[in-house]
Amino acid sequence: MSSLQSRKDEIAAKRTKLAELKRQRELRAKDVSSSRQSIGDASELAQASPLRNRPTQSKADIDQLISSLIPERPPSAAGPRTPAKSPAKRVGGGDRATEDGRQYQDAGTETQTLAFADFQTVYEIPVETKPEVITYSKGVQTSEPWDYDSADGVFLNEADGIAQNPSRRRRRKLSGRERELEEEAIRQRLRLEIEEELRAVKLDEPLEPDKERFPVRALAPDELNAVTSSNDFLDFVERSSKVIERALDEEYDLLSDYAQQSRNAEEDADEYVGRRGRRIKEIGSFPLTEAMGAKRMLSTLDFSPKFPELLCTAYTKSQASPHTPPGLLNVWNLHLKGRPEYSLHATSDLLSCLWHPHHPSLILGGTYSGQLCLWDTRARHQRTGEPVQKTPLTGGRTGHAHPIYSLAVVGTQNANSIISVSTDGVVCAWSADMLTVPQEYLELQSPNKSAYKTDDVAPTCMSFPASDPTYFLAGTEQGSILPVHRYDRAGAKAGVDARTSYAGHMAPVTALDFHPARGKVDLGDLFVSAGMDWSVKVWRAKAGAGASSATSTISSGQADAPPEPVKPLLEIQREDTVYDVRWSPTRPSVFGCVDGGGVLDIYDLLVSTEVPVASARPGENSVSSGGVQERRDVSGLKSLNKLAWEKQSGKHVAVGGLEGVATVFEVGQEIGGAETRADAWMGLRKWVGRQGRGL
């Protein structure tokens, strides 16, 4: 019982203690609330505090005030705490008893009001400014993310809004060969699509009226680029555009009246120059564009032997456009006057050009550097203008090292050679199949060293007779015309024949041309020459010495005799330097020449040997007024350097000169076209006989 009673007493003591603790907690909470109310009481604000008039304040008073304001709170006290409000003014009234019996006392200092002020710079430290250095790298340039736009097939950069094709960026990283392979794969895929469409069309499948069998599909940028850059596409565009331009340039009178009996005489007088049948009419001119290079001199020209409408012209270096290729060769079409059919290039000035007579797609050209070039119009890379073959520039016995002013092709269809001669006296024979090494090499030496004061021979032109491909004449800078044999023969070695001399010009010879000899009478021994001594001469070549004549000459002791001079049959004095002269390919007695005055003159030996039967000037407008011809020169006095006849019919003649403009004329029936007079060939033979006898 005692233990139970003690247990009860212990529990009662604990309850009493808990009740006391609860009462004390309530008293403390009530004390805190009453102290907060007493601080904010408005009735005490007007009372003056006796401590404010005190000059000093002891530390004990301050401690007492702090202890009265912040009562002690045991850690076991519970309940939420709220932040105390800041008093607007100090409360006076001296010592004052609170509800719980505690005393407090106000401070004797004046009331301080705190507020926020503007910021002020106390000390400014100068900052050293340095220029910002920006560097770029591949990592920086490609770090921006690219979003793919499936609708347009491009990548879009969100940072700067740049659109870029993925295939284009990929092609930049590929080499040239890989890019070509990729484009070829794209083109092959497009070909397969087109073939599938064509096969489907041939199956004759039924079509729905409202449904398209093959909807139009827009090509992607990489596909479009692969198609437009292909050789087939470029060839198609170039070929098609030329066909359209030829059709547009073709002149045809849609209102012509075929029932009209004849043309009016006034129309003939207004349209043509000279008498009827001896007219010369300008039908076209071919100037150079700025892209080809302005201020080029036309050095030579030649008509195609198979296509009479094609004309090739060679030009020297451009003085106004130094970045263009030095040598230029254009192939013009009489039915396409806006641009050339082909534009070919060389690494040096072109001084001579020639169509191959047995291969109409081959064009030969001689350059100022001594290089012989061969172009093929069938080559796929003809758009670049580079020759398919060219001779080396090493010199020696492997080719020329000086300018090539004259070219010729001799032989037959199956066995022919290209003959070139340069101003250093070197004659080479080449094969069109291989231009690396000449088949023949011949150095010309002067036949009479005492007369020419030198051993060197400088040929400027040459011409072969139609009947003998082993013998030719060479015009030189010394003014003489030398006969040259390509091979050794009886009584004469290969080289210059010292037994014959054609000494008639007193200045360099500019042109030589043998008669074409296509008629009933053999006139192949006639040739015409022109020189800088303002003269044109007609000659009759002496037949080459045979074995019997050579033997008789040696046996008679005249081997060291001086060469036999040959005099011209006819000498025509001109008013200016004559730069070129050519026989008509169809008329036996007609030849034309051009001079430094820019005039084209055509002579007919059966009509007159002193006055030309027709004359013309490029760019000239002729008006007949009362039988008097009035000339108005548009281009001014421009020298003409070269002349060429159309080889098949002889109805067209082309000229060109310093202006770089090729002009084509159409000649009348009496001086051009096929010869219709039966006695023309025999009449010229009789004229040659009379001139030879000096009558």
Q: What is the pLDDT of residue 518?
A: 75
Q: Averaging pLDDT over each range in 30-44, 187-201, 482-496, which range is the top one?
A: 482-496
Average pLDDT in the 353-376 region?
Answer: 93
DSSP 3-state of 653: strand
229 or 557: which leads in pLDDT:
229
Question: Are 604 and 610 within 8 A, CB to CB?
Answer: no
**Spatial separation of the C-alpha atoms in residues 514 and 463, rounded to whole Å:** 6
Q: What is the pLDDT of residue 88?
A: 42
Query: Residue 233 belongs to what H/E stretch?
Result: helix 231-249
**Spatial separation of the C-alpha atoms in residues 281 and 291, rounded to whole Å:** 29
Q: Which of 385, 404, 383, 382 is nearest to 393 (CA)?
A: 404
598-624 tens-digit pLDDT: 999 999 998 888 899 999 998 875 433
From residue 568, alpha-carbon distances to 474, 529, 530, 541, 675 in Å are 16, 10, 12, 9, 26
90: pLDDT strictly greater than 80: no
Q: Averaging pLDDT over each range in 215-224, 313-322, 573-582, 673-682, which range is the top one?
A: 573-582
Phi, psi of 374 (to 5 degrees): -130, 120
Residue 121's pLDDT band (boundaries 50, 70, 90)?
A: low
Q: Which of 331, 321, 337 is nearest to 283 (CA)?
A: 337
Least trusted range by pLDDT, from 28-37, 100-109, 645-654, 676-685: 100-109
Q: What is the pLDDT of residue 523?
A: 85
**Spatial separation of the C-alpha atoms in residues 490 and 313, rounded to whole Å:** 41
Average pLDDT in the 388-402 region?
Answer: 86
Q: What is the pLDDT of residue 367?
A: 94
- Chain-centroid distance of CA 323 in Å reads 11
DSSP 3-state of 155: strand
DSSP string, 160-178: T--EE-HHHHHHHHS-HHH
538-572 tens-digit pLDDT: 999 886 543 333 333 333 334 455 667 788 899 99
Q: What is the pLDDT of residue 167?
A: 52
56: pLDDT strictly greater than 70: no
57: pLDDT strictly greater than 90: no
Residue 405's pLDDT band (boundaries 50, 70, 90)?
A: very high
Q: What is the pLDDT of residue 268?
A: 45
Rounded mean pLDDT of the chain?
Answer: 75
Q: Which of 486, 429, 476, 470 is nearest to 455 (CA)?
A: 476
Phi, psi of 227 (to 5 degrees): -75, -45
Q: Averaging pLDDT over each range in 2-11, 48-57, 487-496, 569-578, which range is the top one?
A: 569-578
* Cα maximum dimension of the chain: 191
25 or 132: which leads in pLDDT:
25
**Spatial separation of the C-alpha atoms in residues 263 and 272, rounded to whole Å:** 13
Q: Which of 436, 458, 433 is nearest to 445 (CA)?
A: 458
Q: What is the pLDDT of residue 566?
A: 84
**Spatial separation of the C-alpha atoms in residues 675 and 680, rounded to whole Å:** 8
**Spatial separation of the C-alpha atoms in residues 677 and 297, rounded to whole Å:** 39
Helix axes 166-173, 221-228, angle to 10 degrees: 50
**Spatial separation of the C-alpha atoms in residues 406 and 580, rounded to whole Å:** 12
156-208 tens-digit pLDDT: 444 444 445 555 555 455 566 777 777 778 877 877 877 777 777 666 555 55
**Spatial separation of the C-alpha atoms in residues 599 and 635, rounded to whole Å:** 12
107: pLDDT strictly greater than 60: no
Q: What is the pLDDT of residue 449?
A: 65
Name the percent of the chain lying above pLDDT 90: 24
From residue 78, alpha-carbon distances to 25, 28, 35, 74, 321 in Å are 9, 11, 19, 9, 104
- Name the β-bridge partners of 580: 594
- What secondary structure letter does DSSP report for 609? S
**Spatial separation of the C-alpha atoms in residues 167 and 223, rounded to whole Å:** 10
What pTM did the predictor assign? 0.63
Sheet holding 298-303, edge to edge: 298-303, 310-315, 327-333, 342-346
Question: Are 488 and 477 within 8 A, CB to CB?
Answer: no
